Amino acid sequence: MKSSVDKELNLVHSLKLIKEAAKKKARLICFPEFQMAYSPPEQKSESLHKIAEKITGNFVSTLSNSAKQNRINVIATLYEIINTNDKNHKVFDTGVIINELGKLKSIYRKVHLYDALGFKESKKLLAGSIIEKPSKTSVGKLGLLICYDMRFPEISRILTVNGANILVSPSAWVAGFMKREHWEIMVRARAIENGVYVLAPNQVGNIYCGHSMAIDPFGSTIVDMENREGIEFIDIDSSKIDTTRRTLPLLMNRRTDVYRNYIDVFGSKL
């Protein structure tokens, strides 16, 4: 998806994609980060704050109604405000899981803000402080992370050991030197090390690198959308998760009895 700066246009486009997915019997549709609107680097926090909504606002409510009408699970993203009178004008970068009944199953606020490689998301965004438990859906148990979170393997592992068999990472991965290579390597690594499917819908165009990907539990690329907008359909085979974890038992072979001896021992160096 290539989000525009107009959230109403992006919402209309999102509804069309949900209908398209449902017509082809998809049970889950995953949107990228910044689905609500593209925020240009020069945009001030005050302007972004005006775009943002509460979870109970029109953006999520409309997507929830569409999920119910089309009987499809939806993973969506928005700029979220909790306190409309917040004087610092910062907003949360939030992902939600909506089930096929239109019920909100999970609200995840991005933990790791992209303050790196010349960017400073913390100028406009607030960091979340909770890793939400995976959500049981008709597709599988979904663990949600967002974009820059992918660079921190701890969050994917925490979601996995808490039951996730599908990790979904809505992203807006900025293009640049070696950025696409980093993206592809880390999306595959998170799948391999955890024995999970990784679904990584990414923004295309504007300042982003595209290449939305789906990776199976053994690290094979099921789809790479390159610079295409639109939908790719894939099948999730839960038996492949079981087979991979049995033949490559990385989770079982962890030495947590050793690791725990080093938690906090090295302080900030760990």
Question: What's the rounded mean pLDDT across residues 83-91?
Answer: 78
Q: For residue 48, how far is the Cα from the chain centroid?
A: 20
Q: Residue 25 to residues 82, 212, 234, 235: CA-CA distances in angstroms?
A: 35, 21, 11, 11
pLDDT, position 88: 81
pLDDT, position 268: 43
CA atoms of 84 and 91, how far apart (whole Å): 10
Is residue 99 over pLDDT 60? yes
Question: What's the rounded mean pLDDT across residues 124-132?
Answer: 97
Q: Which of 80, 121, 147, 184 is catalytic?
A: 147
For the question of residue 120 being annotated catalytic, the response is no
Q: Per the structure block, which two tokens stand in for 82?
A: 């909790």
Question: What's the rounded mean pLDDT across residues 206-212?
Answer: 97
Please say whether the beta carbons of 51 and 79 come within 8 A.
Answer: yes
User: Considering the chain, what is the average pLDDT of its residues?
Assistant: 95
Q: Which of 30, 33, 105, 209 is catalytic?
A: 33
Question: What's the rounded mean pLDDT across residues 88-94?
Answer: 94
Which helix (H) or strand (E) segment holds residue 50: the answer is helix 45-51
Residues with Cβ within 8 Å of residue 129, at least 6 apart in sequence: 109, 111
pLDDT, position 85: 66
Question: What's the rounded mean pLDDT across residues 221-238?
Answer: 96
pLDDT, position 83: 76
For the question of residue 80 being annotated catalytic, the response is no
For the whole model, what pTM was predicted? Answer: 0.94
CA atoms of 57 and 107, how far apart (whole Å): 14
Is residue 87 over pLDDT 80? no
Q: Which of 110, 124, 132, 184 is catalytic?
A: 110
For the question of residue 147 being annotated catalytic, the response is yes
Q: Which domains are seen in the chain, by residue range? A: 7-269 (3.60.110.10)
Q: Are strands 125-126 and 166-168 parallel, antiparallel or unpaired?
A: unpaired
Question: What's the rounded mean pLDDT across residues 124-145?
Answer: 96
101-110 tens-digit pLDDT: 999 999 999 9
